[in-house]
């Protein structure tokens, strides 16, 4: 995933430049914890069971710190590398926009909110809920997905390279991620916390929209949200088809709508 420059220039840039204070501190904290878990296996097992998010332990043994501490544990080099890369790419710009204090608060709200959604999902009467209830969830992905949601709200048309192949506006990029997480949530056995990802998106959106007066308009969807945008694009496509059917041509200046003839 590569974020493109969202200014008026046509070139692409990788990331947002030098790290800001909170982004740097979060990356250092995550990397430090990861090194400890990798270099000292007995500590790794203890931290995983004690600090990872296990809904059963939160509910029965009241390990209420787990919805916070799970964000700083990662299972592999690829896992932490991907999360920290996205934290840098998108977090730097958001911290510059909001300031360090609000950025840190939002990051923690998104991560803890993702954990709460995971806890709720583990209690639902579905087949995947039982597995979620007893499985350990670790990683900063919930908070990272919250950052992606925030970026899409503030910069809805900023191009992001989907799968490093083709540019997609940030608002649609986040919709695709949300759809993937929602569809994949019942398949809990693939080792990916899709429910937690979905929870991070939801927590981030609710926090910004409810507490800070943002709405779907920031996505560029107009007054009535996503459905209005879909309807508008359908009507636009239909009008284009009709123009072709009746051979509508421009008469004179293309900007002069009074000179349209058919």
Return d(Cα 51, Cα 8) in angstroms, integer: 44
* Residue at 49 is within a domain: yes
Same domain, 235 and 125: no
Task: Quick: pLDDT tens for 226-244.
Answer: 455 555 566 666 676 666 6
Q: Which of 32-36, 105-109, 126-130 has the lowest mean pLDDT?
A: 126-130
* Residue at 188 is within a domain: yes
Same domain, 87 and 203: yes
**Residue-averaged pLDDT of the chain:** 81
Buried residues in 203-238 as b, exposed as e (16+ CB within 10 A): bbbebbeeeeebebebbebeeeeeeebeeeeeeeee
Same domain, 135 and 248: no
Provide the CATH number for the domain around residue 102.
Answer: 1.20.1540.10
* Residue at 143 is within a domain: yes
Same domain, 90 and 213: yes
Task: Quick: pLDDT tens for 126-138.
Answer: 888 888 899 999 9
Provide the domain count of the chain.
Answer: 2
Task: Quick: pLDDT tens for 148-188.
Answer: 999 999 999 999 887 767 889 999 999 999 999 889 887 75
What's the confidence (pLDDT) of residue 212?
58
Q: Answer whether 0.85 is exceeded by the pTM.
A: no
Check if the beta carbon of residue 251 is closer than 8 Å to that of residue 260.
Answer: yes
Same domain, 249 and 198: no
Task: Quick: pLDDT tens for 54-95.
Answer: 999 998 999 999 999 999 999 899 999 999 999 999 999 999
Same domain, 138 and 243: no
Same domain, 58 and 100: yes
Three-point CA angle 28, 141, 90, nearest 5°: 70
* Residue at 223 is within a domain: no
Exposure on the CB side of residue 207, measured as CA atoms within 13 A = 23
Structural domain including 241 reads 229-259
Share of the chain above pLDDT 90, in %: 56
What average pLDDT does this structure show over 246-254? 50
Same domain, 152 and 241: no
């Amino acid at each position: 995933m590569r974020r493109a420059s969202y200014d008026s220039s046509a070139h692409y840039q990788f990331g947002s430049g030098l790290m800001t204070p909170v982004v740097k501190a979060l990356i250092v904290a995550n990397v430090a914890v990861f090194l400890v878990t990798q270099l000292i296996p007995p500590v790794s097992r203890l931290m995983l069971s004690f600090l990872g998010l296990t809904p059963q332990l939160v509910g029965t043994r009241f390990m209420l710190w787990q919805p916070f501490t799970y964000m700083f544990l990662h299972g592999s080099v690829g896992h932490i590398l991907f999360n920290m890369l996205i934290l840098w790419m998108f977090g730097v710009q958001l911290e510059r926009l909001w300031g360090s204090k609000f950025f840190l608060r939002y990051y923690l709200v998104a991560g803890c909110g993702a954990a709460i959604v995971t806890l709720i999902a583990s209690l639902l009467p579905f087949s995947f809920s039982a597995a979620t209830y007893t499985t350990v969830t670790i990683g900063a992905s919930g908070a990272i997905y919250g950052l992606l949601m925030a970026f899409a709200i503030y910069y809805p048309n900023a191009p992001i390279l989907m799968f490093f192949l083709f540019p997609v506006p940030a608002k649609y990029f986040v919709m695709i991620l949300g759809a993937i997480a929602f569809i994949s949530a019942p398949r809990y056995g693939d080792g990916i916390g899709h429910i937690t990802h979905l929870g991070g998106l939801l927590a981030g959106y609710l926090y910004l929209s409810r507490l800070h007066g943002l709405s779907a308009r920031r996505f560029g969807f107009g007054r009535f949200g996503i459905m209005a945008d879909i309807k508008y694009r359908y009507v636009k496509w239909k009008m284009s088809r009709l123009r072709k059917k009746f051979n509508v041509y421009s008469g004179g200046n293309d900007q002069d709508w009074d000179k349209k003839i058919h």
